[in-house]
Amino acid sequence: MRAKLVAINGRYTHSSLALFHVRNELEAHCPDVNTEIIQLTIRDPYYEVLLRLSESQPEAIFFTSAVWNSDRVEELICDLHALLPDCMLVVGGPQANVVAANLAQGICTVVRGAIEAVDVQFYTDLQKNCLQNSYGRSFFHLPDKHEKFRSPYRESDFDTHLQNRNIYYESSRGCPFSCTYCLSSAENGTVHKDLQQVQTELDQIMAHAPRVLRFVDRTFNDLPERALALWKLLLSYKAETLFHFEIAPDRISEEMFAFLATVAPGRFQFEIGIQSTHPPTLAAINRRIDPDVARITVSRLAAADNIHLHADLILGLPHETRRSYLQSFADIFAMGSHYIQMGLLKILPDTAISINAEEFGYTYCQKPPYSVLASKCLDADTLQELYWFSECVEKFCNNRYFPSLWSYLRRQDEDVSLFFSQLLRLALEERLFQLAPTQQFLCSILVAAISNREDEGLIRELLVYDWFRCGQKNLPDCLAGSRKDGRSLRDGLYQDLAEEITGLYCKKNRNRFFKQTIFCQFSGQALKTTGYASDGGGCLAFLLERETSLMRLQKTVLLPS
């Protein structure tokens, strides 16, 4: 039997953990099966994908479906059924039931839940080419200690299916939380792998030094001591892998903080689920996290500036008004995370919030990804306004362009939500969301937004500082203004500075230093704001080398006066 196992990923660097589990179970139960793993992307040309899947007329094609690709899976199953009427089409994953419900009965077979837990009758029927409409337990089934729950990867996978891709790994299944908007809300408990088993499996993966290893555990630090042990294990491997984890902000001990402070920049990335800081909202979605604890945790991690932090905020949750949502944003902005993931609530089928949608007055899209359109507390116009507000924050904040500006605003006693609302007005006037959000374009909008502020001059200097730290050479028109010509400044410094400055240049490479370095004069206030000890103004040299910091910005040095 020839079986093709298909995943439609978001981008090429992604990989599908599920396919490898399916392959192993098929080969274990069907000795004569010949499996082929096919990993595609949502952007691949549809007709070419259809030809590739139907090529050689396989006897079975398996799909894994999620909210963001289920429409494409539906289309493929429908057309493949017409092309290969005798081919068995099987779909699993969180959207499997929805895909099957949208197709004529008998076109495909649904496999619910973990493939390891599917009854042996499925494989018997598969080999007889007479599959039923559905198999398996609930999608939310967790394996018990007697069931298989191990890494599905083989040595050959790393040079083929996983080459140049992110690798996904699970050390636990389930979630300690029961957030009403999440599919895990129907689960009951969490299952953790034995640490020795985890180490054995990680030994295999890390022997190939992957560029990115993403833990799919829904709450990696569910058990703090266990998480700390795994962090220490991961950093013991001789590799420069980036490790990604989803963590809860209320489950980090002092011992964990102490260890995390020693992690080199660029090795760990945390996705921190905050979602809201509005107590009635947190209670309604069953998110049992203290906003004050979250604030302290994220702020402490951000202050260390060695771990890339994503903080999650969801628009449209129950009891969230315009005022409370903007306050949640301001609270999260103040924490100092590097990326604010401002997502729109999705009313996913079979979640608790979908069952109670009428209670909260939800109107939402009936097709994936089931985005919310309005609620009892947010009418459609207000929700749309807040959506574009969130997109504005995404464009301006979630990059490395303006770190000094955001740091400055966090220290000011002002309404940061109002600042971004004013920024949004200008962004809409300039059609930002229809054009490429380049650093120069964003900079021009910021310059317009700060016009007539008392601290306008200081902020312009911060924008200049960030511009050069990002490796740019020439100031854009919006920042150039009356600043001293760079060549004149360089010529003056060449005449005035010593023939040698320890750590910067010697006589032999002095000319090269002045040729390759960007020089810029700043006020004493700007230097103090950016962390330089200076009583008055001074000149900064933006060097060719980059810092070893998280953002890898250009190194800067305050030149002697």
Q: Write out pLDDT tens, residues 86-118.
A: 999 999 999 999 999 999 999 999 999 889 889
Domains (range + CATH), the chain: 2-135 (3.40.50.2300), 166-398 (3.80.30.20), 456-558 (no CATH)
**Region 48-64: what's the mean pLDDT?**
97
**363 phi and psi angles, rounded to 5 deg:** -115, 130
Distance, CA of 308 to CA of 310 (rounded, Å): 7
| Cα distance between residue 336 and residue 558, in whole Å | 26
pLDDT for the residue 140: 47
Q: What is the pLDDT of residue 482?
A: 54
**Section 55-84 average pLDDT:** 97
Q: Give 408-453 pLDDT, tens digit per residue.
A: 999 998 899 999 999 999 999 999 999 999 999 999 999 999 999 9
Identify the band that residue 540 occupies on the pLDDT scale cut at 50, 70 and 90.
very high
Q: Are strands 268-275 and 308-315 parallel, antiparallel or unpaired?
A: parallel
Contact (CB, 8 A) for 347 and 364: yes
DSSP string across 107-150 = S-EEE-S-GGGS-THHHHHHHTT---SEESS-TT----TTS---
pLDDT of residue 114: 87
Residue pair 95/70 in contact (Cβ under 8 Å)? The answer is: yes
Q: Is the pLDDT of residue 75 over 80?
A: yes
Average pLDDT over residues 229-246: 97
The answer to whether the Cα torsion of 191, 13, 9, 31 is positive or negative is negative
175-184, 208-217, 471-480, range with greatest mean pLDDT = 208-217
Determine contact, residues 328/276, Cβ cutoff 8 Å: yes
Q: How confident is the model at residue 178 (pLDDT cuts 50, 70, 90)?
A: confident
Per-residue 3-state assignment (H helix, E strand, C coil) for 343-381 = EECECCCCCHHHHCCCCCCCEECCCCCCEEEECCCCCHH
- In degrees rounded to 5, what are phi and psi of residue 483? -65, 150
Distance CA 361, CA 2 (A): 49
Q: Of all helices (H) and strands (E), which one includes residue 544?
A: strand 538-546
H-only helix segments in 132-223: 195-206
What rounded mean pLDDT belongs to the chain? 94
Quote the strand ranges of 33-99, DSSP E: 34-41, 60-64, 88-92
Mean pLDDT for the stretch of residues 389-405: 96
Query: Mind listing the pLDDT tens digit for each residue in 279-308?
Result: 999 999 998 888 999 999 999 999 999 999
- Dihedral sign, Cα of residue 88, residue 89, residue 92, residue 95: negative
What is the reported pTM? Answer: 0.93
Backbone phi and psi for residue 506, each to the nearest 5 degrees, phi listed first: -120, 180
pLDDT above 60: residue 537: yes
3-state DSSP assignment of residue 60:
strand
Distance of CA 117 to CAs 87, 137, 141, 145, Å?
A: 24, 7, 8, 12
